[in-house]
Structure 1
């Protein structure tokens, strides 16, 4: 019968001995949550980890000795609040986004330079192979280009209709529909090349080859009509960013697939997890590149109709991306 009063007495004494630390920690957490960590003095910042460990120790004792439930709940909540301050990210969303675009994304892309080079080679080889085959037999065009993407732009089309489509988007069946389809198609290829990379690289390689062959088929058609220069300007004004995004997505997929096939000394799961963190950072930026490519496709192509101006925009975007990803950072390893 005397156990309950004795337990309450123990709980009271336990609280009295440590309550000053809990109260101080709670006050500091209130201050941080109401304002920010910058509102704390240096002394307060140094005190929080010690107060957190003291509170955590008190919580452990309270649980083991079965002190009253209210005290345990209070300590659990206070410990959780302090934990997120001590170990959690204290930067704002704007600071995290700034760090991602300033450091995380370009560093991840530089890490994948081998896979990026491999993706470029696969795309170029497929484009050249498709162009050579079509130059020998026009029937290959239907093999490399999906039916929905053709829309009258095939070897049977007249040269004049192909030329007009490069500069006039007025009608519903014009190049604007084709451009939208092409962008959607490329975005799907980019996401699939990354998502399927875990299957030992094979699907990613096939998608890169397929995309390169499709590009080569269209280039072959327009070059055969003397419109290669004009098509290049139309494609590259948004294609530099779009194709670069696909290449990086393919590189991310290759990194994951290689880690799955050849994990090295680490376990396969650990190897994939490590590769996934790098590849995930790259893909976060690829989504942004696809968005920018969509803006260039939607506005730049209609507003800029001069071939040389289109090439100038394409060259500028290419130089900007290369400098952003690969230019040496002062004070940082590239």
Structure 2
């Protein structure tokens, strides 16, 4: 290619890079890569040309800007939770809704079954757990199970176990989403049976104030894990215009982003279960339990429902202005 044609073909791009500077690290890196390619071509065919010196200076400036703005990477986590994750959540609100409906549907079915079959709860929760709980009810401490273990040990065990269960629900989505549906079924039936049992014993409201202190975050995380699994399943079943492998990779990436967000939520739920739930029935004022429960519910609804919609609207508005 003649030098004049080379310059004419790329001059608009170079001027844009020179005069329309950006602070986005990814965009800067892309500009630097393209300039290096152009510089390599120019050095090969026009080693003594002014355009080679120009490209070298321009690439050097962007290179220095990248490292000057390296501190931007320290806010990568903040940007992930403020923008990237909410947009991913908004993109998959449908799967989250489906996971919620599946879980609640199975929980209601389990409660209905327990109401018409006295053996159903024992079949789901096990004779040992039911008998232990009945002994605790007789002692006047129906939720004594939360006091049996040292708080720190209980916190560590529950956190690790809940994270393991959540990722299991997610990974099972590889089986066309059916694995995640099955896990939602198992967990939904357990929660429905468990909650009905206490209502049947006349402990409905106290059980809500005790169990859902940690259960609001924990169960929400299980449902969202199921949604992450459905995202993978849908990416396999409905690749759209993409190749199935590419669609699967994108679905796995989106699902994994959601799972990363659930880790701190599960840790918070484990902390509440280990250190707070044990005191909620016997020595903690009801208003404190209600406050914790309400704040947990508001946070889930805000961050996974309302906030993603707002972030998407803002992104669309900014795009329209540009």
Structure 2 distance, partners of 1:176, 1:146, is 26
Aligned pair in 2 of structure 1 residues 290, 258: CA closer, same or farther (>3 Å)? same
Residue in 2 that maps onto 1:190: 166
More helix per residue: 2
Aligned pair in 2 of structure 1 residues 257, 186: CA closer, same or farther (>3 Å)? same
1:165, 1:175 within 8 Å by CA — same for their partners in 2?
no
1:300 Cα deviation after fit: 3.0
Structure 1 distance, partners of 2:32, 2:117, is 75
Q: Residue 243 of structure 1 is aligned with which of 216, 219, 222?
A: 219
Structure 2 distance, partners of 1:171, 1:274, is 44
Deviations 1:59-88 (A, max 9, x none): 979xxxxxxxxxxxxxxxxx9xx999879x
Residue in 2 that maps onto 1:229: 205
TM-score for the superposition, normalised by structure 1: 0.67
1:54 Cα deviation after fit: 6.3
2:143 paired with 1:166: yes
CA-based RMSD of the aligned residues comes to 3.7
Residue in 1 that maps onto 2:96: 116
Alignment of 1:117-266 (within 5 A): 117-145=97-125, 150=129, 152-153=131-132, 157=135, 159-161=137-139, 163-166=140-143, 170-172=147-149, 185-266=161-242
Structure 1 distance, partners of 2:63, 2:172, is 37
Residue in 2 that maps onto 1:8: none
Structure 2 distance, partners of 1:181, 1:144, is 22
SS in 2 for 1:332: helix
Aligned pair in 2 of structure 1 residues 58, 175: CA closer, same or farther (>3 Å)? closer
Deviations 1:280-311 (A, max 9, x none): 21111011211121222223324552333212
Instruction: Flag the structure with larger Rg.
Output: 1
Aligned pair in 2 of structure 1 residues 324, 51: CA closer, same or farther (>3 Å)? closer
Structure 2 distance, partners of 1:56, 1:83, is 15
The runs of 5 or more residues in structure 2 that have no matched partner are 1-21, 24-28, 46-58, 318-322
SS in 2 for 1:128: helix
Residue in 2 that maps onto 1:29: none
TM-score for the superposition, normalised by structure 2: 0.70
Structure 2 distance, partners of 1:198, 1:240, is 27
2:124, 2:190 within 8 Å by CA — same for their partners in 1?
yes
Structure 2 distance, partners of 1:286, 1:311, is 23
2:81 paired with 1:97: no
Aligned pair in 2 of structure 1 residues 125, 54: CA closer, same or farther (>3 Å)? closer
The runs of 5 or more residues in structure 1 that have no matched partner are 1-36, 39-44, 62-78
**Which one has more relative contact order, counting CA pairs under 8 Å at least 6 apart?**
2
Deviations 1:194-222 (A, max 9, x none): 11101101110000011011011111111
SS in 1 for 2:241: coil
Structure 2 distance, partners of 1:59, 1:200, is 52
Aligned pair in 2 of structure 1 residues 48, 274: CA closer, same or farther (>3 Å)? closer
